């Protein structure tokens, strides 16, 4: 049985005081929901404050990125060691990083083992762009991104994959639950070929892209979907709580 996971990716939203406020609003209720791993991923600058607030609760912390070197003269970067000090999870290869910060498959392939090495659980994001989807290239693009990101990595214990079609992110146009389930099933088949069947069966694969309180249950009911990476809706306490509650209901 794969424990579902809901991760809130706050992206570049919330000051430190706003982050405190948002966490305080949902802390108690979120803490009490069982059967689901609950992860929040605030901006780096708020991680320490949020860590202090959620300490001792069942809520887990994630970062939105990291650099692949442990220390050194890399002004402005955050290393895996620093992230691992506070966080259990780290988002890697989000499409916004690929699109706006030139993050290539090669860079993603360096970040994944760097995170695993310090005991972090990477949430590896992959997904096709609109023009690729329209050209019928979804399977090809997703397979290629997955295989490049994992090239040369022998052990992927703890890794989580998020299938996030780029055209569904922040657009209000989610994929259909069936489409998402199909692509996630393809990802699982690839993992089975690259590693083995057991690893593939135990691996959690999330869907991301315009998940809200209105469509969460539908996604969670799909056999291959093990949770969600939530952007916009994770910035509203009631929405995020509702998504997590719906997920908990589905697994009961
Ligand atoms: P969204 O973002 O839920 O706002 O579409 C998802 C993501 O980027 O992880």
**Residues 186, 91, 44: CA angle, nearest 5 degrees:** 170
pLDDT for residue 90: 98
Distance, C-alpha 123 to centroid of its chain: 4
Residues 6+ apart with CB under 8 A from 216: 228, 242, 243, 246, 247
Q: What is the pLDDT of residues 7-18, one digit of tens each?
A: 999 999 999 999
- Percent of the chain at pLDDT > 70 equals 100
Q: Coil, strand or helix: which one is 241? A: helix
CA 10 to ligand 1 centroid distance, Å: 9
Q: What is the pLDDT of residues 91-145, one digit of tens each?
A: 999 999 999 999 999 999 999 999 999 999 999 999 999 999 999 999 999 999 9
CA 123 to ligand 1 centroid distance, Å: 13
Q: What is the pLDDT of residues 124-133, one digit of tens each?
A: 999 999 999 9
| Radius of gyration from C-alpha coordinates of the chain | 17
- Atom in ligand 1 nearest the alpha carbon of residue 232: 4
Q: What is the mean pLDDT of the chain?
A: 97
Q: Which listed residue (94, 96, 103, 128) is catalytic?
A: 94
Label residue 30 by pLDDT band (50, 70, 90): very high
Residues linked to residue 37 through DSSP beta bridges, in sequence order: 5
226 lines ligand 1 (CB under 6 A): no
Q: What is the pLDDT of residues 193-241, one digit of tens each?
A: 999 999 999 999 999 999 999 999 999 999 999 999 999 999 999 999 9
Would the pTM of this model clear 0.75, i.e. be above it?
A: yes
CA 168 to ligand 1 centroid distance, Å: 8
Q: In whole angstroms, give the CA distance from residue 39 to residue 130.
A: 28
Q: Coil, strand or helix: which one is 166? A: helix
pLDDT for residue 74: 98
pLDDT for residue 1: 84
- Supply the residue whose CA is at minimum distance from atom 2 of ligand 1: 231
Intra-chain end-to-end CA distance of the chain, in Å = 12
pLDDT for residue 87: 98
The token pair at 202 is: 């135990």
Q: What is the pLDDT of residues 171-192, one digit of tens each?
A: 999 999 999 999 999 999 999 9
164 lines ligand 1 (CB under 6 A): yes
Using the predicted structure, report yes or no on whether residue 54 has a pLDDT greater than 90. yes
Q: Which of 230, 234, 240 for a ligand 1 pocket mutation test, highest count of atoms within 8 Å of Cβ? A: 230
Q: Coil, strand or helix: which one is 124? A: strand
Q: Which of 90, 163, 169, 212 for a ligand 1 pocket mutation test, highest count of atoms within 8 Å of Cβ? A: 169
pLDDT for residue 252: 87
* Crossing angle of the two packed helices 138-150 and 105-117, in degrees rounded to 10: 50
Q: Coil, strand or helix: which one is 208? A: strand
Q: Determine contact, residues 180/126, Cβ cutoff 8 Å.
A: no
Label residue 70 by pLDDT band (50, 70, 90): very high
- Atom in ligand 1 nearest the alpha carbon of residue 169: 5
- Percent of the chain at pLDDT > 90 equals 99
Using the predicted structure, report yes or no on whether residue 85 has a pLDDT greater than 90. yes
Active site residue 94: yes
Q: Coil, strand or helix: which one is 101? A: coil
């Amino acid at each position: 049985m794969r424990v579902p996971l809901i991760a809130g990716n706050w992206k570049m939203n919330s000051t430190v005081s706003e982050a405190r406020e948002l966490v305080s609003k949902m802390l108690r209720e979120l803490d009490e929901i069982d059967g689901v791993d609950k992860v929040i991923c605030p901006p780096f600058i708020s991680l320490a404050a949020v860590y202090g607030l959620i300490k001792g609760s069942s809520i887990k912390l994630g970062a939105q990125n990291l650099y692949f070197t442990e220390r050194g003269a890399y002004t402005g970067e955050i290393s895996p060691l620093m992230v691992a000090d506070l966080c259990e999870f780290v988002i890697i290869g989000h499409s916004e990083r690929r699109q706006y910060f030139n993050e290539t498959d090669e860079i993603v392939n360096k970040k994944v083992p760097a995170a695993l090495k310090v005991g972090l659980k990477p949430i590896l994001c992959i997904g096709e762009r609109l023009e690729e989807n329209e050209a019928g290239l979804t399977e090809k693009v997703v397979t290629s991104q997955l295989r490049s990101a994992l090239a040369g990595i022998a052990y992927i214990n703890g890794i989580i994959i998020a299938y996030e079609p780029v055209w569904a992110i922040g657009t209000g146009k989610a994929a259909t639950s069936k489409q998402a389930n199909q692509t996630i099933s393809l990802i699982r088949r690839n993992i089975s070929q690259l590693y083995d069947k057991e690893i593939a069966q135990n691996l959690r694969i999330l869907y991301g892209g315009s998940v809200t309180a209105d469509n969460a249950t539908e996604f969670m009911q799909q056999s291959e979907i093990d949770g969600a990476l939530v952007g916009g809706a994770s910035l509203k306490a009631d929405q995020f709580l509702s998504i997590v509650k719906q997920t908990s209901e589905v697994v009961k």
